[in-house]
Amino acid sequence: AQVLALGCSFAAIDANLSSIEPVQRIVDETIEALGGIDILVNNAGIIRRQDSIDFSEDDWDAVMNTNLKTVFFLTQAAARHMLSSGGGKVINIASLLSFQGGIRVPSYTASKSGLAGLTKILANEWAAKGINVNAIAPGYFDTNNTEALRADETRNRSILERIPAGRWGQPSDIGGAAVFLASGASDYVHGVTLPVDGGWLAR
């Protein structure tokens, strides 16, 4: 409703990204509904937590399939259209665990580290062909996913003490980075994983 109120087109396409089965349908339905694909934001992701010594193959595969495999093949399918229509922008949503190891999330860390590498290789191959491929690595954000952390006084305090900005990120902080990477202002930016973390990695 908010998009339509701005006088822009909007189409919702439902798909389960735990496998690559719907990838071509997503691209086809998007082109049919909107006339093309200019920007792809790979924002779907899941996480499984368990000590690495006990981590299961099922949990490994579920995370890697959604966070890395489907991202690659959806990007490939969208890029085929972009290459034939003059270019476009791909924005992957990475993680601080694209840079750090974390604990008890081996498949998530592997997938997000892999996503940073994937961002680079696709940029290498497509930069001269009019497609920018970059990534955003969010830090700690004020969302439903972090509600339990923020409600835990000790954990909340320890997180805030580590963030130089002294606050949790707001959704608009990621939105600003996404607008930049989706716009002509970033036309000479390729293969970057941009932390939006309030300075967390600087500590």
Check: CB of residue 91 under 8 Å from CB of residue 119. no
Active site residue 108: yes
Q: What is the DSSP string of 50-100?
A: --GGG--HHHHHHHHIIIIIHHHHHHHHHHHHHHHTT-EEEEEE--GGGTS
Helix (H) or strand (E) holding 22: none
Catalytic residue among 108, 126, 140, 200: 108
Cα–Cα–Cα angle for 117, 119, 124, rounded to 5 degrees: 95
Known catalytic residues?
108
